[in-house]
């Protein structure tokens, strides 16, 4: 069956983290009737085809009520139909979910939970502006793991002054949970964030590189290898929805700030809730070259790589000589080396 996913954007969080440039604003009392009307309107415009994954992202979608989640999923199922083995993921934060809510979300249909833990010690959580404690994070990880077979946590590393020993110890603790999936992101300072304004510096390049190599080594040994630049999974637990993006499949985005790709049609929703409600989705048609370059940009993030069809042999040869790419001319398949993954932007520039 052809893959097709729906991304649902929830635009609120309990507070704004100083490193975050996602489309989210602090809010404790969302107008769910207004949001529901907008989500249903966005769904109406989409081509009717079975959905292989739904991803509730944000923001902190675990803040949404069970009632709203149920209404959205019900409408998706009614209008499009769920493919067999559909993956329904939801992002949660330790302080914005309870064990009872996890159980309720599961009963409604969520079958994959992803918890934004970010660090396992209180000092670093405070630095990252997170409102939960390490103790709450550990409790939620345990509860999530009991309730969801398919689950994940996010952590941020390469924090300022973080040493190799500290990260090794923390990563060892993460791996001891035996979760099927983890996402490990290096701290980056995004323009316009509080960290940017404060002049916070992340780890230097060499430290970040060594931390990354150690992370790959430890996760490989633990049987949860890297499958995408920042994502690690036990076999069969790779996030199917995110794979849609990396493999260049079709997906629709509903809600403020959501994007979609339907063939060559790119869709985009305004970031602010009131503008999104008023204006709805805008569509543009990409050229075949634009879409090809997007697919290259996303596909080379995968450790297993992608088809090299359409790339000039001289460029492939240059990237192979550089030590950034593996290329098999028999099946026209290419995959980044570890060095290539770390030099991804340069590798992509070399190939386009
Ligand atoms: S909880 Fe996540 S989405 Fe919300 S502000 Fe923090 S990093 Fe951004």
**Of ligand 1's atoms, which has the minimum distance to the CA of residue 118?**
7
Residue 280 belongs to some domain of the structure: no
Determine which residue's CA is closest to atom 2 belonging to ligand 1: 59
User: Are both 332 and 228 inside the same structural domain?
Assistant: no
Residue 254 contacts residue 43 (beta carbons within 8 Å): yes
Say yes or no: CB of residue 16 within 6 Å of ligand 1.
yes
User: Are both 209 and 61 inside the same structural domain?
Assistant: yes
Mean pLDDT, rounded, of the chain: 96
User: Are both 303 and 211 inside the same structural domain?
Assistant: no
User: Are both 197 and 314 inside the same structural domain?
Assistant: no
Please tell me the distance between residue 117's alpha carbon and the centre of ligand 1 in angstroms: 11
- Of 108, 64, 110, 103, nearest to 87 by C-alpha is 110
Report residue 340 as tokens.
Answer: 């290539």
Residue 87 belongs to some domain of the structure: yes
Report residue 30 as tokens.
Answer: 């969302």
Determine which residue's CA is closest to atom 3 belonging to ligand 1: 59
Residue 45 contacts residue 79 (beta carbons within 8 Å): no
User: Are both 105 and 232 inside the same structural domain?
Assistant: yes
Residue 306 belongs to some domain of the structure: yes
Q: What is the pLDDT of residue 341?
A: 95
Instruction: Provide the pairing of β-strand 25-26 with 250-254.
Output: unpaired
Domain boundary among 183, 218, 245: 245
Which residue among 59, 126, 128, 192 is best mutated to probe the pocket of ligand 1, counting the most ligand atoms within 8 A of its Cβ?
A: 59
Report residue 325 as tokens.
Answer: 């790419």
Residue 90 belongs to some domain of the structure: yes
Which residue among 11, 14, 20, 92 is best mutated to probe the pocket of ligand 1, counting the most ligand atoms within 8 A of its Cβ?
A: 20
Residue 299 belongs to some domain of the structure: yes
Say yes or no: CB of residue 305 within 6 Å of ligand 1.
no
Residue 41 contacts residue 280 (beta carbons within 8 Å): yes
User: Are both 204 and 325 inside the same structural domain?
Assistant: no
Averaged pLDDT, 9-27: 95
Residue 38 contacts residue 277 (beta carbons within 8 Å): yes
Residue 55 contacts residue 241 (beta carbons within 8 Å): yes
Residue 154 contacts residue 114 (beta carbons within 8 Å): yes
Domain boundary among 227, 245, 263: 245
Residue 23 belongs to some domain of the structure: yes
Residue 250 belongs to some domain of the structure: no
The CATH number that applies at residue 236 is: 3.20.20.70
Name the DSSP letter for residue 302. B
Q: What is the pLDDT of residue 1?
A: 79
User: Are both 223 and 295 inside the same structural domain?
Assistant: no
pLDDT at 28 over 90: no
Say yes or no: CB of residue 38 within 6 Å of ligand 1.
no
Please tell me the distance between residue 21's alpha carbon and the centre of ligand 1 in angstroms: 8
Say yes or no: CB of residue 13 within 6 Å of ligand 1.
yes
User: Are both 210 and 306 inside the same structural domain?
Assistant: no
User: Are both 329 and 192 inside the same structural domain?
Assistant: no
User: Are both 210 and 293 inside the same structural domain?
Assistant: no
Q: pLDDT digits over 128-145, tens only?
A: 999 999 999 999 999 999
Domain boundary among 183, 211, 245: 245
Q: pLDDT digits over 46-88, tens only?
A: 989 999 999 999 999 999 999 999 999 999 999 999 999 999 9
Range of the domain at 332: 288-352
Peptide bond into 59 cis (omega under 30): yes
Q: pLDDT digits over 244-278, tens only?
A: 999 999 999 999 999 999 999 999 999 999 999 99
Q: pLDDT digits over 171-189, tens only?
A: 999 999 999 999 999 999 9
Domains held by the chain: number? 2
User: Are both 232 and 295 inside the same structural domain?
Assistant: no
Name the DSSP letter for residue 301. T
Name the DSSP letter for residue 123. H
User: Are both 299 and 161 inside the same structural domain?
Assistant: no
Please tell me the distance between residue 20's alpha carbon and the centre of ligand 1 in angstroms: 6
Residue 279 belongs to some domain of the structure: no
Name the DSSP letter for residue 281. -
From residue 242, alpha-carbon distances to 5, 54, 175 in Å are 9, 10, 22
Q: What is the pLDDT of residue 45?
A: 84
Say yes or no: CB of residue 62 within 6 Å of ligand 1.
no
Q: pLDDT digits over 32-57, tens only?
A: 999 999 999 999 989 899 999 999 99
């Amino acid at each position: 069956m052809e893959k097709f996913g729906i991304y649902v954007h929830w635009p609120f969080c309990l507070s704004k983290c100083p490193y975050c440039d996602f489309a989210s604003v602090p809010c404790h009392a969302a107008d769910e009737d207004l949001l529901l009307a907008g989500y249903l309107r966005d769904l109406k415009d989409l081509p009717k085809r079975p959905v292989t994954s739904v991803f509730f992202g944000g923001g902190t979608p675990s803040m949404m009520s069970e009632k709203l989640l149920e209404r959205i999923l019900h409408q998706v199922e009614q209008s499009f139909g769920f493919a067999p083995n559909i993956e329904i993921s939801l992002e949660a934060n330790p302080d914005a979910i309870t064990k009872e809510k996890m159980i309720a979300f599961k009963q409604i249909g969520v079958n994959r939970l992803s918890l934004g833990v970010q660090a396992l010690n209180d000092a670093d959580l405070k630095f990252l502006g997170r409102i939960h404690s390490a103790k709450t994070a550990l409790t939620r990880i345990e509860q999530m793991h009991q309730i969801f077979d398919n689950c994940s946590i996010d952590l941020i590393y390469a924090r300022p002054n973080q040493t190799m020993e500290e990260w090794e110890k923390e990563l060892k603790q993460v791996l001891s949970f035996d979760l099927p999936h983890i996402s490990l992101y290096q701290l980056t300072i995004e323009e316009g964030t509080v960290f940017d304004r404060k002049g916070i510096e992340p780890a230097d390049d060499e430290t970040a590189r060594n931390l990354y190599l150690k992370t790959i080594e430890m996760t490989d040994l633990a049987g949860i290898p890297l499958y995408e630049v920042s994502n690690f999974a036990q076999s069969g637990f790779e996030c199917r929805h995110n794979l849609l993006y990396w493999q260049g499949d079709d997906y629709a985005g509903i809600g403020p700030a959501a994007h979609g790709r339907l063939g060559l049609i790119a869709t985009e929703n305004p970031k602010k809730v009131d503008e999104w409600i008023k204006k709805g989705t805008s569509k543009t048609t990409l050229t075949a070259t634009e879409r090809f370059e997007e697919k290259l940009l996303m596909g080379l993030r995968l450790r297993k790589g992608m088809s090299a069809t359409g790339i000039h042999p001289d460029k492939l040869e240059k990237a192979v000589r550089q030590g950034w790419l593996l290329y098999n001319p028999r099946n026209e398949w290419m995959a980044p080396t570890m060095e290539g993954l770390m030099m991804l932007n340069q590798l992509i520039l070399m190939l386009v």
